Structure 1
Amino acid sequence: MKINTIRNATIVVEYADKKFLIDPMLAPKGADPPFPNSPRQDQHNPLVSLPTSIEEIINVDAVIVTHLHYDHWDEAAKDALPKDMKIFAQNEEDAIEIQSAGFQNVEVLQEDTVFDDIKLIKTKGQHGRGEILKLTGLVCGVVFKHQTEKTLYVAGDTVWYEDVQEVIDTHKPEIIVVNAGDNQFFEGGSLVMGKDDVFEVYKAAPASKIIAVHMEAVNHWGLSREELKQFSKDKEMSPNLLVTDDGNCYTFK
């Protein structure tokens, strides 16, 4: 297994001889407006450039879109991806919208989806807490399983809550990717994991490798890489928590 961290939540997973692109945000630096009612209103998204070419990023076998917020599925991705690319969506509503952009091979991810001989298990997520959930909407994550690979859990845009615990307890993933930028609006609190959420993941899976992505790429981020690294040292998570830079690649055997 290889996990290539691209930018924000965009990663490429090489798993059992297949390549999956997850949550493609492929726009050039500064192409989109800032998220409203949040910090850094003077900075347009994305805040940073892609670390490699779009042609290399989209050279995959399938795409997984955990939800349709533009920092996970943007116009640049719609333009760049071949219209016959296999795309997995979280539900029928998202699938219809993806199809409306011209994509012809869209499938709704289930808890028993199989691609080639790789099991793809849709997991629940909670994109914030309380009233903000009325705005953020539905999201998902995914567990990858194959007899030749370690179990991988890509949690998606979720905070720590009981269903994340349940996924870890049920599937016992050896590799976990968390969106850990603590992104926030001025009102409503965290939309994805902050440092305390990451610590809960670590406590639930102390033997797993945890990869922190979705950091410092869009204007409403609330947790920097350096702060998370220091917190990781303080909590003695450092051997297990990988705080990524854009373009990093990790191999797990």
Structure 2
Amino acid sequence: MNNILPAALGLLLCLGAPLHAQSKESVAPVSIQQIRNATLKVTYGGQVFLVDPMLARKGAYPGFEGTYRSHLRNPLVELPESVESVLRGVDAVLVSHTHLDHWDDAAQQLIPRSLPLFVQDDADAALLMKQGFKDVRVLTADTTFNGVRISKTGGRHGSEEMYAVPLVAERLGATMGFVFQKPGAKTVYVAGDTVWESEVRTALKTFKPDVVVLNTGDARLTGFNTGIIMGKEDTLRVHQMSPSATIVAVHMDAVNHMSVSRHDLQDYVAQHAIQAHVLIPEDGEVINF
């Protein structure tokens, strides 16, 4: 009898039979590949999503006028792999907004016209359809794509002071984040180009994400003393509000107006002893959850 139970357990393990409820990872693996800047490749629920594609070669565009270090040409670095590799296996594209560093000329030329694209509103949908894309969909609070629920979340691409200036407000425009959900999978919240504000806090409270992707480069316009996306302190704020979540920090070291580098953020999270909760991937790196 003493040998029967170990043998039976061994057989069950070999056959793959669960001894307890399967973990989220084993049921529905999730991975995030940092491509460059805010461009991500998210594998979720058996689907591959390309987020905010900026696909140009290094130095293809002039720096953003009226921003920090505008004399530098964008992107500052090359893609970590070929465009063909970036696009391989992609089932859909999510474009949070149409600023050049999230939806560039190269992406418009290289992404297949028939690939499903999700955007934030009718205006962006009309623009992408004018660019020749055939399957453009407006993301809602409850969109489903091949079994994956994708929920649009809000944000603000700068301070209230900036949006009080009409020309600045027009330049910053609207933006969105989104949340990936599927039964048995970790919930992933991609906050997008936003500062720390009420709609971000609402998303954290509502969805209770396991993974939060933050754009933390603290991009700066000239003439203002705050950023137009999150930075170091916001990383800590998100951790304090969602202490069990893993933060993935991106959107650094690739376009001219970023004022926070990976090295800066690494030093900051170490100083505040939150490095176990904050991942700062290099370009091309894949994180599995």
TM-score bracket for the superposition, by shorter chain length: over 0.9
- Do residues 196 (structure 1) and 233 (structure 2) align? yes
**Preserved contact between residue 246 and residue 277 of structure 2 (Cα < 8 Å):** yes
Deviation, 1:244, is 1.8
- Greater helix fraction, Structure 1 or Structure 2: 2
CA distance in 2 between counterparts of 1:161 and 1:200 reads 11
Deviation, 1:130, is 2.2
TM-score (norm 1): 0.98
Identical pairs, percent: 42
TM-score (norm 2): 0.86
2:242 to 185, 199, 205: 205
**Preserved contact between residue 176 and residue 208 of structure 1 (Cα < 8 Å):** yes
- Do residues 119 (structure 1) and 155 (structure 2) align? no
What SS class does the counterpart of residue 28 from structure 1 fall into? Answer: coil
Deviation, 1:185, is 1.2
- Do residues 45 (structure 1) and 82 (structure 2) align? no
1:165 to 187, 197, 201: 201
What SS class does the counterpart of residue 179 from structure 2 fall into? Answer: strand
| Matched residue, 1:176 | 212
| Matched residue, 2:22 | none
Deviation, 1:125, is 0.9
What SS class does the counterpart of residue 248 from structure 2 fall into? Answer: strand
Amino acid at match of 1:160: W
Deviation by residue 1:99-121 (Cα, 9 ceiling, x = unmatched): 00000000000001000111000
Amino acid at match of 2:125: A
What SS class does the counterpart of residue 244 from structure 1 fall into? Answer: coil
Structure 2, unaligned runs of 5 or more: 1-29, 164-168
| Matched residue, 1:139 | 175
What SS class does the counterpart of residue 54 from structure 2 fall into? Answer: coil
**Preserved contact between residue 16 and residue 148 of structure 1 (Cα < 8 Å):** no
| Matched residue, 1:19 | 48
Deviation, 1:149, is 1.1
| Matched residue, 2:24 | none
After TM superposition, list the pairs within 5 Å mapping 1:1-253 onto structure 2.
1-59=30-88, 60-133=90-163, 134=169, 135-188=171-224, 189-252=226-289
Structure 1, unaligned runs of 5 or more: none
- Greater strand fraction, Structure 1 or Structure 2: 1
Deviation by residue 1:111-157 (Cα, 9 ceiling, x = unmatched): 01000111000000110102423130100000000013100000000
**Preserved contact between residue 122 and residue 140 of structure 1 (Cα < 8 Å):** yes
Amino acid at match of 1:213: V
CA distance in 1 between counterparts of 2:77 and 2:46 reads 30
Q: Over aligned residue pairs, what C-alpha RMSD do you find?
A: 0.9
Higher gyration radius (CA): 2
